[in-house]
C-alpha cells in the first residue's frame, strides 16, 4: 500500500522538530517541505485554514495540525515500532500532563527571554529555570522521560534544546549549572539519529533570532 | 474496583467536564468540594505543579487537567466512548479540544475586564464562536455527531456559562441569529440525558459571578 506522508514545516520550529523526531523514530518515509512563513503556500492555507501554521502532517491527503496531536497520531498509526506513549492509562495521563506543561511554559517563557530586557527578562529567566527544574524532578534518574527509551515527553521537550544557546546568549545566563541533569538528558537524546537529524545547529538558531530581533526592532 | 474521587469546585466548568464524563460512563465516584481561597493540603499534594482543580484521584493516584482526565477515563472505561476509534478522527477531535482550550478563555477575559481590553476579548470570543460553528460543528447535532463526544464536553462552557457571563457584563456574544447552529447545539446539549440533570443552577451562578466580577473590578 502506497503511503503518502508530507510534513509542512519550518527549519527552526521546535514544534516541527517534534513531528520530525516522531516520524524518524517510527522509520516513516516522508517528504519534508519547507514553508516560507512570510509567503505561506496555498497547500498550507488549505490544510490548516484555522491557524495557518506549521507543522502540518499530511497523511494520504488528510491534514493533522498541532505538533503534539500529530505526534500522537504518528504513534497510533505506526504503532508497531518505538512506542512513544506508554500503554498504561495512568502513565499516559502523566506523559500528557508533562507535555501539556511544556507547551504551556517553555515556548512562551523562552520567547520572553529573547524579546525582552531588564526586569521583564530577569523574571522570564527565573521562571524558565524553575520550569526546567520541575522537569528535572520529573525525569529523576531515568535515562529518558519515557524510561529506558525515548517517549512522548522527550519528543515534546528536546526540540527546545536547539534554542537554549539562543536563550542563554540573549539572556546572558547559563542553563547547565542550574539544570545539569536536564542538559545531560538532552545530550543523551542527541546521541540518537532521530533527534540529531531533526534538530538544527543551535548557532544557526541564534543567528535567526538575531535577524528576528532586528526585524521586530528588539534591541 | 479502586475508589474514585473528583476534587472540584462549584461552579467551575472544568469540574463539570469531569463530572459529566464520569456520569456518562456510569462510573461511581465521590465528589470533594475544594475551597480555592484556602487550598487544602491534599489538593496541593495532588496537584503541586498547578494547584488547581479538577483533580481525579483513582486508587490514590492523581490525574490533573480536565481534558487529560477525560482521555484517561475514556481509556480506562471504554463504555460510551468520548473519542472515536479511528486515529485520524481522534486527531480531529483533539484539534478542536485544543482550540477551545486555547481560545475559550477569551470569554473569561470579557468577564474579568472592562474598556478596551474587554472589547478585544469580545472580538476574540466572536471569532472563536464563528470558527467552531463553521469548522467544528457544521450541520451536526453534536460536535461528536449523533451523540455527545469529547468536543461537546470541552465546549460546554459556551452552552451554559457564556450566558451567565453575558448577563453579568451586559454584553450579548452568542446571538441566536448570528450563530444559529451553535445556538441550537447549546439547547440540544443542555437537554441531553445526564447533562440536563447535572447543570449548576443559573440563578445561583448569576449571584456568584456578579459578586466575583464586582470584587475583581474593585481591586483593579
Chain B, nearest residue to A96 by Cα: B68
Q: Cβ–Cβ contacts within 10 Å for residue A148, how many?
A: 8
- Alpha-carbon distance of A27 to A111, in angstroms, equals 32
Report whether B90 contacts A76 (CB < 8 A). Answer: yes
Distance from CA of B104 to the nearest CA of A (A): 15
* Digit-coded pLDDT (tens) for A102-155: 999 999 999 999 999 999 999 999 999 999 999 999 999 999 999 999 999 999
- pLDDT at position A94 is 98
pLDDT surpasses 90 at A61: yes
Cross-chain Cβ contact A93/B98 below 8 Å: no
CB contact under 8 A, A50 and B131: yes
Contact indicator for B66, B18 with CB cutoff of 8 Å: yes
Q: Which residue in this structure is represented by grid cell 534554542?
A: A163
Query: Quick one: pLDDT at residue A217?
Result: 86
Which chain A residue has the Cα nearest residue B93?
A: A69
Nearest to B72 among A72, A89, A134 (CB): A89
pLDDT 10s digits, A63-107: 999 999 999 999 999 999 999 999 999 999 999 999 999 999 999
Q: Is the pLDDT of residue A9 over 70?
A: yes
CA atoms of A22 and A164, how far apart (whole Å): 21
CA distance B108 to A203: 41
In terms of CA atoms, which chain B residue is nearest residue A62? B88
CB A188 within 8 A of CB A158: no
Our CA-based measurement puts residue B15 at a distance from the nearest CA of chain A, in whole angstroms, of: 17
Chain B residues with CB under 8 Å of A101 CB are: 49
Q: B135 and A49: CB-CB below 8 Å?
A: yes
The DSSP 8-state label assigned to residue B83 in this structure reads S
Cβ atoms within 10 Å of A138's Cβ, excluding its own = 15
Question: Which residues of chain B make contact with A73, given a CB cutoff of 8 A?
Answer: 87-88, 90-91
Say if residues B70 and A97 touch (Cβ distance below 8 Å): no
Do residues B60 and B6 lie in contact, with contact meaning Cβ atoms separated by under 8 Å? no
What's the pLDDT at B220? 73
Over 80: is that where the pLDDT of A170 sits? Answer: yes
Cα separation values, A205 from A172, A186, B158, Å: 16, 17, 41
What's the pLDDT score for residue B1? Answer: 45
Query: Do the Cβ atoms of A93 and B90 come within 8 Å?
Result: no
Other residues' Cβ atoms within 10 Å of the Cβ of residue A183: 18
- Residues B136, B95: Cα–Cα separation, whole Å: 10
Q: What is the pLDDT of residue A218?
A: 83
Best residue in B60, B71, B87 for a mutation probing chain A (most A CBs within 10 Å): B87
pTM (predicted TM-score): 0.96
Name chain B contacts of A134, Cβ cutoff 8 Å: 49
User: Exposed (0-12), middle (13-18) or buried (19+): which is B75, by Cβ within 10 Å?
Assistant: middle
Instruction: Looking at chain B, list the stretches that DSSP marks H as alpha helix, in order from N- to C-terminal side.
Output: 13-24, 41-46, 66-76, 87-103, 106-112, 115-131, 150-154, 156, 162-169, 180-191, 202-219
Grid coordinates belonging to A52: 495557518
Instruction: Kindly report the nearest CA distance between residue A204 and chain B, in angstroms.
Output: 31
What's the confidence (pLDDT) of residue A125? 98
Give pLDDT < 50 ranges for chain B.
1
pLDDT digits (tens, 9 = 90+) for B139-169: 999 999 999 999 999 999 999 999 999 999 9
Q: Find the CB nearest B61 among A49, A90, A92.
A: A90
Residues contacting A170, CB < 8 A, separation 6+: A113, A114, A206, A209, A213
Give the pLDDT score at B2.
Answer: 53
The closest CB to that of B65, out of A50, A62, A100, belongs to A100
pLDDT in the model for residue A216: 87
CA of B50 to nearest chain A CA: how many angstroms apart?
9
Rounded to whole angstroms, the Cα distance separating B171 from B107 reads 11
Amino acid at each position: 500500500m502506497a503511503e503518502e506522508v508530507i510534513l509542512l514545516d519550518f527549519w527552526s520550529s521546535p514544534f516541527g522538530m517534534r513531528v520530525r523526531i516522531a516520524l524518524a523514530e517510527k522509520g516513516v518515509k516522508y517528504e519534508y517541505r519547507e514553508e516560507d512563513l512570510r509567503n505561506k503556500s496555498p497547500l498550507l492555507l488549505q490544510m490548516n485554514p484555522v491557524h495557518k501554521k506549521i507543522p502540518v502532517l499530511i497523511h494520504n491527503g488528510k491534514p493533522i495540525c498541532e505538533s503534539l496531536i500529530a505526534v500522537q497520531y504518528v504513534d497510533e498509526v505506526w504503532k508497531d515500532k518505538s512506542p512513544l506513549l506508554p500503554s498504561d492509562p495512568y502513565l499516559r495521563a502523566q506523559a500528557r500532563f508533562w507535555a501539556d506543561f511544556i507547551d504551556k511554559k517553555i515556548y512562551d517563557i523562552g520567547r520572553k527571554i529573547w524579546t525582552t530586557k531588564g526586569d521583564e527578562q530577569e523574571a522570564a529567566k527565573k521562571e524558565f529555570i524553575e520550569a526546567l527544574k520541575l522537569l528535572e524532578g520529573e525525569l529523576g534518574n531515568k535515562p529518558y522521560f519515557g524510561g529506558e527509551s525515548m517517549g512522548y515527553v522527550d519528543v515534546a521537550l528536546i526540540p527546545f534544546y536547539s534554542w537554549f544557546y539562543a536563550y542563554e546568549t540573549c539572556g546572558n545566563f547559563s542553563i547547565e549549572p542550574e539544570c545539569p541533569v536536564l542538559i545531560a538528558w538532552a545530550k543523551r537524546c542527541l546521541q540518537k539519529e532521530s533527534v540529531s537529524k531533526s534538530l538544527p545547529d543551535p548557532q544557526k538558531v541564534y543567528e535567526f533570532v538575531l535577524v528576528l530581533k532586528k526585524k521586530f526592532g528588539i534591541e | 474496583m479502586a475508589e474514585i474521587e473528583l476534587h472540584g469546585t462549584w461552579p467551575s466548568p472544568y469540574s463539570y467536564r469531569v463530572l459529566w464524563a464520569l456520569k456518562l460512563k456510569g462510573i461511581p465516584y465521590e465528589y470533594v468540594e475544594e475551597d480555592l481561597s484556602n487550598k487544602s493540603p491534599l489538593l496541593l499534594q495532588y496537584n503541586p505543579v498547578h494547584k488547581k482543580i479538577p483533580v481525579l484521584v483513582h486508587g490514590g493516584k492523581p490525574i490533573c487537567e480536565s481534558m487529560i482526565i477525560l482521555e484517561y477515563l475514556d481509556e480506562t472505561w471504554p463504555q460510551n466512548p468520548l473519542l472515536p476509534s479511528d486515529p485520524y478522527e481522534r486527531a480531529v477531535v483533539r484539534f478542536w479540544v485544543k482550540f477551545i482550550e486555547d481560545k475559550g478563555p477569551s470569554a473569561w477575559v470579557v468577564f474579568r475586564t472592562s474598556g478596551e481590553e474587554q472589547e478585544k476579548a469580545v472580538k476574540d470570543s466572536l471569532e472563536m464562536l464563528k470558527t467552531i460553528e463553521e469548522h467544528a460543528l457544521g450541520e451536526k447535532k453534536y460536535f461528536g455527531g449523533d451523540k455527545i463526544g469529547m468536543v461537546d464536553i470541552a465546549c460546554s462552557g459556551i452552552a451554559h456559562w457564556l450566558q451567565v457571563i453575558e448577563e453579568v457584563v451586559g454584553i450579548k456574544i452568542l446571538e441566536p441569529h448570528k450563530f444559529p447552529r451553535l445556538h441550537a447545539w447549546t439547547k440540544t446539549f443542555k437537554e441531553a440525558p445526564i447533562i440536563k440533570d447535572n447543570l449548576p443552577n443559573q440563578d445561583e451562578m448569576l449571584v456568584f459571578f456578579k459578586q466575583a466580577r464586582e470584587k475583581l473590578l474593585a481591586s483593579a
